Amino acid sequence: MLQSALKKIHFALGLLFLVLGIIGVLLPVLPTTPFILLALYFFDRSSEKFHRWCLKIPGFGPRIEEWQRYRIIRRSAKIQAVVIILASATYLALKESLNVWIKLGSLLVMAWVVVFIWTRRSDKKS
């Protein structure tokens, strides 16, 4: 019973993050990849069908599968992610209407993400 409820919660969260990821494709201020990764995480625990479907998303599927199987992030994906994060950080830093603590917290998270991404292996051999 508890397992069934947990599976339904995981599926609902997977759908939520998938929708947010799709919205992120259309809105440049909302990231896509983290939401797709979260959707995959929850679908992996709730729906094999949706998990496989997400792995077939053009542009994301192969990269995500490499991450799941080999824990690698290709150099081109690293560069793309860091450029987008730096652009977002610049926008955030220049946005005058935001609270300084929100800016600082967001910039620290972005810095941590850049370090995390850049310290992952880039190919299966390394």
- Write out the two tokens for 87: 């652009």
CB 122 within 8 A of CB 74: yes
What residues have CB less than 8 Å from 20, skipping those under 6 apart?
A: 30, 35
What DSSP assignment string belongs to 39-63?
A: HHHHHHTT-HHHHHHHHTSTTTHHH
pTM listed for this prediction: 0.67
The pLDDT tens digits for 92-107 are 888 888 888 988 998 9
pLDDT tens column, 44-82: 999 989 888 888 888 778 888 888 888 898 898 889 889
